[in-house]
Amino acid sequence: MKKTKIVATIGPASKDIEILRSLILSGMDVARINLTHADENFCKDIVKKIQNLNKELHTNIAIMFDLRGPDITVDHFSGGSAYLNKGDRIRVYMDEITGDSTKFSVSYSNLINEVKVNHTLKLNDGLIELKILEKNVNYLLCEVISGGFIEDRKGVNVIGVPLNIPFLSAKDLKDIQLANELNVDYLALSMIRHAEDVLKINDILINLGNDHMAIVSKIETEQALEELDEIIKNSDAVMVARGDLGVELPMERIPRIQKMVINKCHLMGKISIVATEMMTSMEDMVRPTRAEVSDVATAVLEGTDAVMLSGETTIGRYPVQTLEIMNKIIQESENDQNYNELVDRTMRSEKQDITGSVAYSSVECAIRLKCKAIVTPTVSGYTARKISRFRPNCPIIAICPDENVVKNLKLYYGIYPVLEKEVTSFDKIMKISKQIAKEQLHLEEKDKIIVTGGYPFKGVKHTNFMKVEEI
């Protein structure tokens, strides 16, 4: 059973119920919907399908909505795409038109007023580069410096120019309302620039009466890195979105930034997600490259909570196979993880309180006794999150009576949340813990588990017991 979680983006290649079922059975933990491309009907359809599959398969797959945010995209092309040839002249319009190889439009109409001649536009995660030659009334005349295929709604980056795009558009506000209506579990914020952006979203959710939707801040800009600690502090999770980040910054900096973000999130007890181009070749090929295998393994060995698939599962030819292979890479990499070192590192930064001490002791004991699982009854998820931070070498089964908390725990490293309403007496929780551990992990006689939590189960504010049990 893997401990690093997989986020899979749902799109045309994976929207059918049978593909979704296969993705779940192959190890998907969170289904992501990119609202740059998805409309309301698509969102409702996917949410309904995931809910039905959760009931059918007795799973707790969570759902993430990813806001478009203050990014710029190209509009639509005739036939959905076009090829831009190196050296050609192309017009970039501010008013929406149907694009082709000679012209297209962008989503931000004020772009023409904020850029200058000789500025560079990069499209599609930097694969295409345009140089601005002239500014006209309603279009920019550009030269194609690096050509290639461009598709509908691909991103546009303006290098070296801080744009004045509002953080939230009317569409974003509508999408937040939809996320609240559909009771999704995670809300990803694109192009975060300041910690204040996170607080703004949090205020909106509070005003909607939503106290459970987790906020995922996507690190994609230099500005975000300048306020990284405060952004992490005010977020539930942070995503290293390497696509736009690798366009905005020199790409040779990305590996170091990735490692830094993972480490900071780990020490602050927040979820880290590594995203973009993890297994891109599998959009068209049945096997990943060796470099991609190493990339996934590196993220796992650095201690990330989750890795994410994008185009591989939205438009790729092999969405299920991609997820299966990623699952295998994760499990193989986790076999080489130095768990003792992770525990020691976490303990050095851990606040010395009762819950932290019991969580540490549980993990230490699990490693020494070769326990098959740590089982924790939890109402808020606090104990499970504490244990996850220590990175135990065995799964954490979190037994929780609240469905929203169960879904919130899906992205945390090593946690497998189980919905169980009957968390009442000590004897009953021990019985349920052994039963669930046996069912989930196919345990055998004499296998050991650790049960830890807070007693009494209602009202206690810290973890205060640990018990070793044999199956």
pLDDT-derived band at 471 (thresholds 50, 70, 90) equals confident
CB-based contact 170:185 (threshold 8 Å): no
460, pLDDT greater than 80: no
So what's the pLDDT on residue 430?
A: 82
349, pLDDT greater than 80: no
pLDDT-derived band at 457 (thresholds 50, 70, 90) equals low
So what's the pLDDT on residue 424?
A: 66
CATH of 339-470 given 3.40.50.1110, 3.40.1380.20, 3.30.310.220, 3.40.50.10860 = 3.40.1380.20
What is d(CA 378, CA 406) in angstroms, rounded to the nearest whole number? Answer: 10
**More confident site: 336 or 257:** 257
346, pLDDT greater than 90: no
The terminus-to-terminus CA distance of the chain in angstroms comes to 19
For domain 72-158, give the CATH number: 2.40.33.10
Q: Mean pLDDT, to the nearest integer, of 220-240? A: 96
User: Strand, helix or coil at 370?
Assistant: coil
Q: Which residues pair with 9 in a beta bridge?
A: 32
Q: Mean pLDDT, to the nearest integer, of 136-164? A: 93
What is d(CA 236, CA 217) in angstroms, rounded to the nearest whole number? Answer: 8
For the domain made up of 5-69+166-334, the CATH class stated in words is alpha beta
Enter the DSSP assignment of 95: S
Name the percent of the chain lying above pLDDT 90: 79
Q: Mean pLDDT, to the nearest integer, of 180-188? A: 98
100, pLDDT greater than 90: yes
Structure tokens at 453: 């939590």
Which of 173-177, 278-282, 334-338, 376-380 has the least mean pLDDT?
334-338
Which of 249-253, 348-352, 463-467 has the least mean pLDDT?
348-352
HSE toward the beta carbon, residue 301, CA cutoff 13 A? 13
CB-based contact 141:108 (threshold 8 Å): no
Structure tokens at 332: 């193989």
423, pLDDT greater than 70: no
459, pLDDT greater than 70: no
User: Apex CA 330: angle with CA 401 and CA 348, to 5°?
Assistant: 70
DSSP string computed for 419-453: E-S---SHHHHHHHHHHHHHHHHT--TT-EEEEEE
So what's the pLDDT on residue 178?
A: 98
What is d(CA 304, CA 240) in angstroms, rounded to the nearest whole number? Answer: 10
What is d(CA 192, CA 69) in angstroms, rounded to the nearest whole number? Answer: 8
305, pLDDT greater than 80: yes
So what's the pLDDT on residue 6?
A: 98
pLDDT-derived band at 445 (thresholds 50, 70, 90) equals confident
Q: Mean pLDDT, to the nearest integer, of 291-297? A: 98
So what's the pLDDT on residue 432?
A: 84
Q: Which residues pair with 186 in a beta bridge?
A: 64, 214
pTM of the model as a whole? 0.91
So what's the pLDDT on residue 387?
A: 94
255, pLDDT greater than 90: yes
* 120-143: pLDDT as tens digits: 999 998 999 999 999 999 999 999
What is d(CA 390, CA 366) in angstroms, rounded to the nearest whole number? Answer: 12
**More confident site: 84 or 423:** 84
Residue position matching structure tokens 């983006």 = 9
So what's the pLDDT on residue 25?
A: 97
Domain ranges of the chain: 5-69+166-334, 72-158, 339-470
Mean pLDDT of the chain: 93
User: Strand, helix or coil at 462?
Assistant: coil
Query: Pairing relation of β-strands 139-146 and 89-93?
Result: antiparallel
CB-based contact 112:161 (threshold 8 Å): no
Q: Which of 396, 325, 410, 327 is nearest to 362 (CA)?
A: 396
- Which segments of 213-364 are extended strands (E)? 214-219, 237-241, 271-275, 306-309
Structure tokens at 216: 């995922």
Name the percent of the chain lying above pLDDT 70: 97
Structure tokens at 100: 């082709």
